[in-house]
């Protein structure tokens, strides 16, 4: 008999959720994770909890409070004479949030009887894993099934090698101990925009260089245009079509060379963040040797139920690509666990929500207009400027846009730029998951005054019957 029914490799949001669900369903489960935090201690939760979703939101929230006090509090009749930033305190608060949540995973493992194993896992057989502990000692474990959830690491580019001092990746950018005066960011994806926003709100002069000609190329075009304008107003200098070609470090400064439609350009900054995407993590895993297919971009190939080419070995989360988002990985983990227990679980990739936590936030689910080529659709659009709650809040930028099938009224896409877009999008996810129509949203009673009324109004707008705009 094998040591375990299931061994999960990786305790990020894909892996730890898979492990907990397996254990809940009666499988003897272990989860192996190698993460060592900046204090040299093992820490569960993967990228998301340690150096991703959670610490970035902690800093986004702190920096937003400062920005609000500086720029907007006075309009609410609140003034503060000695407003100041204590970066060390801000970072300490972030660390406390991270610690609480990462330790929480340990408690969840305990409560659900998941065996947590610290160390690096390597596949040495279809049902055999070698674990190297942090002290170098090795053990071999046997298991009926394996779930690979080894996640991803920041992608590197040869033209901007990180030195962890002046040129950093997202992890380094979450740990600055002071506010850089001039900050460069390569990449205007979610991570570049969020980290650029944090330091810009705290006073950095931020320049973002993005190789693509379009801002947020995968988002709704109108939303992207509004978001770009708003972020520019906040001080983010975003250069599109600007491809970085080299960097040099001298005198405690970084010179970034880039090429745009005007030719060769240079930018001088005190710190540079490289935020050019993430790379799947299969290093030293032994996956290829076992016959697991890895594609040219390094992602593990899986079938629709996340099984690799080797029966009994599954892969979930960032390591298989698709939307590299925590919630996508978690749901894949649940699906695999439940199918191992004989359930018929499936996952709906069409309703994975996307969020960019700028201020205000960008969130969407479903198709953009560009993706609806050849489909007849109607659009309902409602501006937050016409929302009573947004007015009361004092934050009226942005809009809700709803795309619905012209014939059936079925919801095809919902796109939001505005405060709490990350929360508002859930209503759209629910509606779309139930194959809802714009009429369904329009008929639902929304509490007043709420920001969600903007979603309601946009749904009414699909049929040209908005009340407040």
Residues tagged in the binding site annotation for NAD(+): 187-194, 210, 277
User: Which residue is catalytic, options 72, 76, 343, 448?
Assistant: 448
User: 243-262: which residues touch ligand AMP (CB under 6 A)?
Assistant: 243-244
Residue 199 CB neighbour total at 10 angstroms: 21
Q: Is 393 a catalytic residue?
A: no
Q: Is the Cα torsion angle 43, 49, 50, 54 positive or negative in sign?
A: negative
User: 128-167: which residues touch ligand AMP (CB under 6 A)?
Assistant: 157, 159
52 is in the binding site of which of ligand FAD, ligand AMP, none (Cβ under 5 to 8 A by kind)?
Answer: ligand FAD
Q: Does 386 bind ligand AMP (CB under 6 A)?
A: no
Tell me the H-state helices in 218-325.
221-233
User: 150-169: which residues touch ligand FAD (CB under 6 A)?
Assistant: 150-152
What values do phi and psi take at 409, rounded to 5?
A: 75, 5
Q: Is 447 within 8 Å of 427 (Cβ atoms)?
A: no
Tell me the H-state helices in 72-179.
87-111, 170-173
- Among residues 155, 165, 191, which one has the least CA distance to residue 271? 165
How far apart are alpha carbons 2 and 21 in whole angstroms?
Answer: 19
- Among residues 385, 327, 388, which one has the least CA distance to residue 360? 385
244 is in the binding site of which of ligand FAD, ligand AMP, none (Cβ under 5 to 8 A by kind)?
Answer: ligand AMP
How far apart are alpha carbons 269 and 184 in whole angstroms?
Answer: 6
Which one of 47, 63, 204, 381 is in contact with ligand FAD (CB under 6 A)?
47
Beta bridge partners of 243: 259
What values do phi and psi take at 41, rounded to 5?
A: -110, 150
User: 170-189: which residues touch ligand AMP (CB under 6 A)?
Assistant: 186-189
DSSP 26: T
Shortest distance, position 326 Cβ to ligand AMP, whole Å: 14
281 is in the binding site of which of ligand AMP, ligand FAD, none (Cβ under 5 to 8 A by kind)?
Answer: ligand FAD
360 is in the binding site of which of ligand AMP, ligand FAD, none (Cβ under 5 to 8 A by kind)?
Answer: none
Q: Does 316 bind ligand AMP (CB under 6 A)?
A: no
x/- site string to ligand FAD, residues 277 to 316, per CB under 6 A? ----x---x-------------------------------
What angle is formed at CA 78 by the lines to CA 77 and CA 83, rounded to 5 degrees?
Answer: 150
What angle is formed at CA 254 by the lines to CA 252 and CA 260, rounded to 5 degrees?
Answer: 165
Which one of 23, 30, 146, 191 is in contact with ligand AMP (CB under 6 A)?
191
Shortest distance, position 241 Cβ to ligand AMP, whole Å: 9
Site residues (vs ligand FAD, CB under 6 A): 9-15, 32-35, 46-48, 52-53, 56, 120-121, 149-152, 170, 191, 281, 285, 317-319, 324-327, 329, 357
Q: Which residues are catalytic?
A: 448
Site residues (vs ligand AMP, CB under 6 A): 157, 159, 186-191, 209-212, 243-244, 275-277
């Amino acid at each position: 008999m094998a040591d375990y029914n299931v061994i999960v490799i990786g305790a990020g949001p894909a892996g730890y959720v898979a492990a907990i669900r397996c254990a809940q369903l009666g499988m003897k489960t272990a989860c192996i994770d190698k993460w060592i935090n900046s204090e040299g201690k093992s820490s569960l939760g993967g990228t998301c909890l340690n150096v991703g979703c959670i610490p970035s939101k902690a800093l986004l929230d702190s920096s937003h409070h400062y920005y609000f006090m500086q720029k907007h509090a006075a309009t609410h009749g609140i003034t503060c004479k000695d407003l100041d930033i204590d970066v060390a305190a801000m970072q300490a608060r972030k660390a406390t949030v991270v610690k609480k949540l990462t330790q929480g995973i340990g408690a969840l493992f305990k409560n659900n009887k998941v065996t947590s194993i610290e160390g690096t896992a390597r596949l040495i057989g279809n049902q055999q894993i070698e674990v190297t502990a942090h002290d170098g000692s090795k053990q071999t474990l046997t298991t009926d099934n394996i779930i690979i959830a080894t996640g991803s690491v920041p992608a590197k580019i040869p033209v901007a090698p990180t030195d962890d001092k002046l040129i950093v990746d997202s992890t380094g950018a979450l740990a600055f101990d002071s506010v850089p005066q001039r900050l460069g960011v390569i990449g205007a994806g979610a991570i570049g925009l969020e980290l650029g926003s944090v330091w810009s709100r705290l006073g950095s002069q931020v320049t973002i260089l993005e190789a693509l000609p379009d801002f947020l190329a995968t988002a709704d075009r109108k939303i992207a245009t509004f978001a770009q304008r708003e972020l520019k107003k906040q001080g983010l200098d975003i250069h599109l079509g600007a491809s970085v070609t080299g960097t040099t470090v001298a005198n405690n400064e970084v010179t970034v060379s880039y090429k745009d439609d005007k030719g060769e350009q240079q930018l001088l900054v005190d710190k540079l963040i490289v935020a050019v995407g993430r790379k799947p993590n299969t290093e030293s895993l032994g996956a290829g040797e076992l016959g697991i297919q890895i594609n040219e971009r390094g992602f593990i190939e899986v079938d629709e139920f996340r099984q690799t080419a080797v029966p009994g070995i599954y892969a979930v989360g960032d390591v298989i690509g698709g939307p590299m988002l925590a919630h996508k990985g978690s749901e894949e983990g649940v699906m695999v666990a439940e199918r191992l227990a004989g359930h018929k679980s499936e996952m709906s990739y069409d309703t994975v929500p996307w969020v960019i936590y700028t201020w205000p936030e960008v969130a969407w689910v479903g198709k953009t207009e560009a993706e609806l080529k050849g489909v007849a659709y109607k659009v309902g659009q409602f501006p937050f400027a016409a929302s009573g709650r947004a007015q009361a809040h004092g934050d009226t930028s942005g809009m809700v846009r709803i795309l619905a099938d012209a014939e059936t009224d079925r919801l095809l896409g919902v796109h939001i730029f505005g405060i709490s877009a990350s929360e508002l999008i859930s209503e759209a996810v629910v509606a779309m998951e139930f194959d809802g129509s714009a009429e369904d949203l329009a008929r639902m009673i929304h509490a007043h005054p709420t920001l969600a009324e903007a979603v309601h109004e946009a749904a009414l707008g699909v049929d040209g019957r908005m009340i407040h705009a």
